[in-house]
Copies of this chain bind each other. A is one copy, B any other.
Amino acid sequence: MEPIEWLDGKVKIIDQSCLPHRQVQLEFDRCEEVAQAIKTLRIRGAPLIGIAGAYGLALCAQNIAAVTRTEFLAELQRIAGVLASARPTAVNLTWAINRMLAAAQTKGDISSIRSALIAEAKAIHREEKEATRRLSRFGAELINDGFTVMTHCNAGALATGGYGTALGVIRAAREQGKNISVIATETRPLLQGARLTAWELMQEGIPVTLITDSMAGHFMSRQAVNCVITGADRIAANGDTANKIGTYSLAVLAKENKVPFYIAAPLSTVDRSVASGDGIPIEERNPEEVTHIQGIAVAAPGVRAANPAFDVTPHRYLSAIITELGIVRPPFRQNISTLFKTRLARSKGGASGRSQDRSHRGQRSLPDRRPE
């Protein structure tokens, strides 16, 4: 079952808020429904909400009643703004929406725009899926046979519309025949680790041990962890990384215990318009997510609670960022910049995605190499 699908002019998703206890599929034919599903975390994971945003705009284009191209594009732009505000931290949503708006601009009439938007959303979905497969193969080179890998939140197939980022790396290492165990943090408040990561790994037959977030340091200090891998919601130009709240703590604990700390994310997560983590907005969610668990009050009634959904890990805590173009190591600002130049040079050279993939196989740290 795919976490998201475009089927007969509708978007079908797995409602991740019901997992693992119930498997519920939802079908949307309006963009507002997609935005609401993103807000309420029925659809979640930075790459997946990018894909969902793209399909959302494709849906909305089918319903816009404008007569002229200008009116049509204005309305598309307005709805894009609403959709983009559904979750402010993950940049993939804005990235996908901008790609969609650019695709719309290339067409001369409303009917062509509608078709182009469906095609572009499908392309984004396909490319993001392929990007996670590629980055997973690069990342797997960092994982030795017998490793215990700690991960946080859920950066699996559910989060990415395909193969997974952090869990994709683990999956790819396993496909290479390595024995891998995983320690999954439960990831309060919304327990994506307990509900989703543990479930995905169990389905794959990969041994997983669930812990509370507070136990991570203990296991690192007891040398029970060989590396930590998480996904990302936005990576600034200097490598500072916003990800699920708690990631920063894990990165500090990893550094203190000399455990390598990796971020796995497609390039759609890199926002070079933001110089450092200071520029990344942190979404503050409803405090009831902290005071209640699955609708049940778990705290003193009436207590004030804070609920920042993300934190920023300064780049100095990262050992490497795993992308679909290779593994980026410090100095991150320079190597991220080189990576994008490499990609630009390649796309100008007209290389197809497939041949690019072959050319990268086994290549560990692309940004250190000269653009081809």
Q: Which residues from chain A sit less than 8 Å from chain B, CB to CB?
A: 20-21, 183, 185-189, 191, 194-196, 198-199, 202, 207-219, 221, 245-246, 248-249, 252-253, 256, 290-291, 293-294, 296-306, 308, 311-312
Copies in the complex: 2
Q: When A210-B303, A303-B198, A304-B209 are in contact, do A246 and B215 touch as well, CB less than 8 Å?
A: yes
* Interface of A: prevailing SS: mixed
Instruction: Please state if A291 and B194 are interface contacts (CB–CB under 8 Å).
Output: yes
**Residue picked from A183, A194, A199, A207, most chain B C-beta under 10 Å:** A194
Among residues of B, the one whose C-beta sits closest to the C-beta of A199 is B300
Instruction: Please state if B303 and A202 are interface contacts (CB–CB under 8 Å).
Output: yes
Instruction: Please state if B306 and A210 are interface contacts (CB–CB under 8 Å).
Output: yes
Contacts of A209 in B (CB 8 A): 304-306
Instruction: Please state if B249 and A195 are interface contacts (CB–CB under 8 Å).
Output: no
Instruction: Please state if B294 and A298 are interface contacts (CB–CB under 8 Å).
Output: yes
**Residue picked from A208, A256, A294, A303, most chain B C-beta under 10 Å:** A303
Contacts of A294 in B (CB 8 A): 293, 296, 298
Please tell me which one of the listed residues B21, B246, B299, B308 contacts residue A195 in the complex, with CB atoms under 8 A apart. Answer: B299
Q: When A210-B305, A213-B214, A246-B214 are in contact, do A299 and B253 touch as well, CB less than 8 Å?
A: no
Please tell me which one of the listed residues B20, B215, B217, B300 contacts residue A300 in the complex, with CB atoms under 8 A apart. Answer: B20
A202 to B305, CA, bound (A): 13
Instruction: Please state if A191 and B248 are interface contacts (CB–CB under 8 Å).
Output: no
A290 to B198, CA, bound (A): 13
Among residues of B, the one whose C-beta sits closest to the C-beta of A194 is B299
Please tell me which one of the listed residues B217, B300, B312 contacts residue A202 in the complex, with CB atoms under 8 A apart. Answer: B300
Please tell me which one of the listed residues B249, B293, B304 contacts residue A214 in the complex, with CB atoms under 8 A apart. Answer: B249
Instruction: Please state if B210 and A249 are interface contacts (CB–CB under 8 Å).
Output: no
Contacts of A210 in B (CB 8 A): 290-291, 299-300, 303-306
